[in-house]
Amino acid sequence: METLRGIVVLIHLVGFAVLFGAWVVEWVNGKRGITRLMNWGLAIAGAAGLVLAAPWGIEYDLNYAKIGTKLVILIVIGALLGIGAGRQRKTGSVPAAIFWSIGILTLANAAIAVLWR
Ligand code: HEM
């Protein structure tokens, strides 16, 4: 059970890496757009996160305030990805505030995961 949970955490981290990595690529190459990889990363992190939100394979209590906060932030990131992609389709670019919020909120969720004990 513990090993299985470890594998789901690994999948969760892959989702984070895909989402944040795809965002960093767009930042560094100067396009600052929204790509399909970001949606994939969010879906993978979200699905694995929900599985991890249930108390199995652990001997300690889960911090549900922390998990709830992460879920809210994930939903906001999803909304921003949707709105930003719509704007990108119509105008060819994503508003800077939306692009930056996606990266910062993704990093914030990872920070909450690691720092909030
Ligand atoms: C963009 C969204 C997210 C990012 C970047 C993210 C990031 C992370 C990271 C880096 C860890 C590992 C921390 C550690 O092991 O100390 C983690 C663990 C965890 N995440 Fe997320 N997360 C996200 C969304 C979610 C969501 C939506 C949920 C639940 C609804 C969730 C639930 C959890 C749980 C329960 C763990 C602890 C796993 C364990 O130690 O058993 N995460 N997350």
The CA distance from 68 to 53, in Å, is 9
Q: Quick check: helix, strand or coil at residue 93?
A: coil
Is residue 41 within 8 A of residue 19, CB to CB? The reply is yes
Can you give the pLDDT at residue 117?
87
Q: What is the pLDDT of residue 90?
A: 98
Q: Do 58 and 3 touch, CB atoms closer than 8 A?
A: no
pTM tops 0.85: yes
Per-residue pLDDT of the chain (117 residues; tens, 9 = 90+): 999 999 999 999 999 999 999 999 999 999 999 999 999 999 999 999 999 999 999 999 999 999 999 999 999 999 999 999 999 999 999 999 999 999 999 999 999 999 998
Residue type, 4: L
- Residue 31: the pLDDT is 97
- Atom 10, ligand 1: residue with shortest CA distance: 110
Q: Please choose from 39, 70, 102 the residue to mutate so as to test ligand 1's pocket, defined by most ligand atoms within 8 A of CB.
A: 70
